[in-house]
């Protein structure tokens, strides 16, 4: 079982650093809650060591952590804190027993929010260099433990950034943990495997396996690595393209309600009732509804359907826009998203031309990953960019079809 335990440092009688409106114990808890909400929305079991303003000793924290861990769990323990002093930027400390992989991912994503990352590192005890300096990293040996200090409260830029971008920082850390835990599904071919047996095992198709792995035949070799495509739990097969500039057609699924549909499509229950001439809020599975789109989907924005693992930060970064622009265009009151929710993404900037946008390749990208993010296919991207292979270079600019 994958679990994340978040340990907001300080609390109760221990206030920590106080600079203006920023009180460290409160900030640590607030950002921990936002990270928890992000992870929970992405199906990751997450707990807080404290969820209120209470004082806890280190031993009490360790006891709570131990009680949350079951045999066989893989647990990531994340402690949130702030720093004081003359420096500026975030810092990440990870355990001597762990690799730097998770810290690197968090560092890259925090850096993309606009705040500097000073370093990610391991800190040894001065009296016994075989041990971690911090007890909260050292003692829970059956966890992958790290501390994230989000910034320096004495630095005016950091202080302002921390206050105004708490949700953005929480999304960056949450996205990092989701990417690290779920990762790209890799399967190692074993004796007796066939594309058909692997496809059946992972609820996909032979054609899909061949597409994402760029296979020219059905032949496999023992030890070969295959990318297993994500299952489409929330596909868009129940959504029809707009029949005009005003509506899209939506087929009601089990569990739907007018409130849920209205929320996902940035409209209101009353608007749905009026457009569809409904006499009550009762829906039938298979019923087709007209959903108002409030404008032209090919003009100043495109419609984007939220998928598992998405965040406003990730979507904004992918479409070369900003979180604030998406929030403003969609009248969002928070940064939390729901799978299946439809967002308007602004396309009025210079990266949009006709029926494609320009995308700059980042570390960790692949054609499959980019195609999946933009609801297109590897072949469409290769065709539009005249690519002869699946190899990409960091910084390479690709045209991504948006229709």
Residue 237 — very low, low, confident or very high, per pLDDT cuts 50/70/90? very low
Residue 301 — very low, low, confident or very high, per pLDDT cuts 50/70/90? confident
Provide CB contacts within 8 A for 243, sequence distance 6+. 249
Report which of residues 279 and 5 the model is more confident about: 5
When mean pLDDT is compared across 91-95, 238-242, 276-280, the lowest value belongs to: 238-242
Residue 222 near residue 191, CB atoms below 8 Å: yes
Per DSSP bridges, beta strands 45-48 and 2-8 are: parallel
Residue 234 — very low, low, confident or very high, per pLDDT cuts 50/70/90? very low
Q: What is the DSSP letter of 132?
A: B
Which of 45-54, 196-205, 245-254, 345-354 has the highest mean predicted lDDT (pLDDT)? 45-54
Residue 227 near residue 184, CB atoms below 8 Å: yes
Cα separation, 223 vs 183, in Å, equals 20
Is 231-349's fold the same as 353-403's? yes
Cα separation, 83 vs 132, in Å, equals 19
Which pLDDT does position 266 carry in this prediction?
67
What's the longest Cα–Cα distance across the chain? 75
Residue 136 near residue 79, CB atoms below 8 Å: yes
Cα separation, 268 vs 375, in Å, equals 26
User: Which residues are registered as beta bridge partners of 248?
Assistant: 291
CATH code for residues 353-403: 3.10.350.10
Question: φ and ψ at 375, to 5 degrees?
Answer: 55, 45
- According to the CATH classification, is domain 231-349 in 3.40.50.150? no
Residue 152 near residue 117, CB atoms below 8 Å: no
Q: Domain 186-227 in CATH: superfamily?
A: LysM domain (3.10.350.10)
Report which of residues 399 and 103 the model is more confident about: 103
Start-to-end Cα distance in the chain: 39
* pLDDT, mean over the chain: 82
Q: Is the pTM of this model over 0.75?
A: no
Residue 354 above 60 pLDDT? no
Going through 10-126 in order, the beta strands assigned E by DSSP cover: 18-19, 22-23, 45-48, 74-83, 90-94, 117-121
Q: Which residues of 268-296 are buried (b: 16+ CB within 10 A; e: fewer)?
A: ebeebeeebeeeeeebeeeeebbbbbeee
CATH code for residues 2-182: 3.40.630.40
Instruction: Give the pLDDT mean for 139-162.
Output: 93
Which pLDDT does position 62 carry in this prediction?
95
Residue 236 near residue 249, CB atoms below 8 Å: no
Q: Residue 302 CA to chain centroid, in angstroms?
A: 20
Residue 248 — very low, low, confident or very high, per pLDDT cuts 50/70/90? confident
Residue 133 above 70 pLDDT? yes
Q: Which two tokens stand for residue 61?
A: 């924290």
Provide CB contacts within 8 A for 267, sequence distance 6+. 291, 292, 294
Collapsed DSSP state (helix, strand, coil) of residue 373 = helix
Domain ranges of the chain: 2-182, 186-227, 231-349, 353-403
pLDDT per residue as tens digits for the range 12-70: 999 999 999 999 999 999 999 999 998 888 788 999 999 999 999 999 999 999 999 98
Question: Is 141 exposed, middle or buried, given 0-12, 13-18 or 19+ CB atoms closer than 10 A?
Answer: exposed
Which pLDDT does position 241 carry in this prediction?
44
Dump the DSSP string for 158-210. HHHHHHHTHHHHHHHHHHHHHHHHH---EEE--TT--HHHHHHHTT--HHHHH
């Amino acid at each position: 079982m994958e679990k994340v335990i978040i340990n907001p440092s300080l609390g109760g009688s221990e206030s920590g650093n106080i600079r203006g409106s920023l009180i460290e114990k409160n900030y640590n808890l607030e950002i921990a809650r936002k990270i928890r909400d992000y992870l929970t929305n992405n199906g990751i079991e997450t707990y807080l060591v404290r969820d209120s303003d209470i004082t806890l000793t280190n031993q009490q924290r360790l006891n709570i952590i131990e009680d949350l861990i079951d045999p066989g769990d893989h647990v990531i323990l994340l402690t949130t804190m702030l720093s004081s002093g003359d420096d500026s930027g975030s810092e990440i400390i990870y355990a001597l027993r762990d690799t730097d992989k998770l810290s690197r991912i968090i560092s890259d994503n925090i850096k993309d929010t606009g705040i500097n990352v000073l370093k990610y590192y391991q800190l040894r005890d001065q009296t016994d260099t075989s041990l971690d300096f911090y007890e909260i990293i050292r003692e829970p040996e059956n966890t992958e433990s790290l501390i994230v200090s989000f910034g320096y409260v004495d630095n005016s830029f950091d202080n302002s950034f921390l206050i105004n971008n708490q949700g953005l920082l929480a999304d960056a850390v949450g996205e990092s943990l989701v990417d690290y835990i779920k990762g790209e599904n890799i399967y190692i071919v074993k004796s007796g495997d066939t594309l058909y047996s692997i496809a059946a095992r992972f609820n996909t198709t032979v054609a899909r396996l061949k597409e994402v792995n760029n296979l020219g035949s059905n032949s496999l070799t023992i030890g070969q690595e295959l990318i297993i495509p994500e299952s489409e739990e929330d596909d868009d097969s129940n959504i029809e393209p707009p029949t005009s500039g005003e509506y899209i057609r939506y087929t009601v699924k089990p569990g739907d309600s007018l409130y849920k549909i209205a929320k996902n499509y940035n409209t209101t229950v009353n608007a749905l009732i009026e457009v569809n001439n409904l006499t009550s809020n009762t829906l039938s599975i298979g019923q087709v509804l007209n959903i108002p789109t409030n404008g032209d989907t090919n003009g100043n924005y495109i419609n984007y359907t939220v998928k598992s693992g998405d965040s406003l930060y990730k979507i904004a970064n992918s479409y070369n826009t900003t979180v604030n622009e998406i929030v403003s265009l969609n009248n969002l009151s928070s940064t939390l998203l729901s799978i299946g929710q439809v967002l308007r993404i602004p396309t009025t900037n210079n990266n949009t031309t006709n029926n494609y946008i320009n995308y700059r390749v980042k570390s960790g990208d692949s054609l499959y990953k980019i195609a999946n993010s933009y609801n297109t296919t590897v072949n469409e991207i290769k065709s539009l960019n005249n690519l002869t292979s699946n190899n990409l270079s960091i910084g390479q600019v690709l045209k991504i079809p948006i229709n």
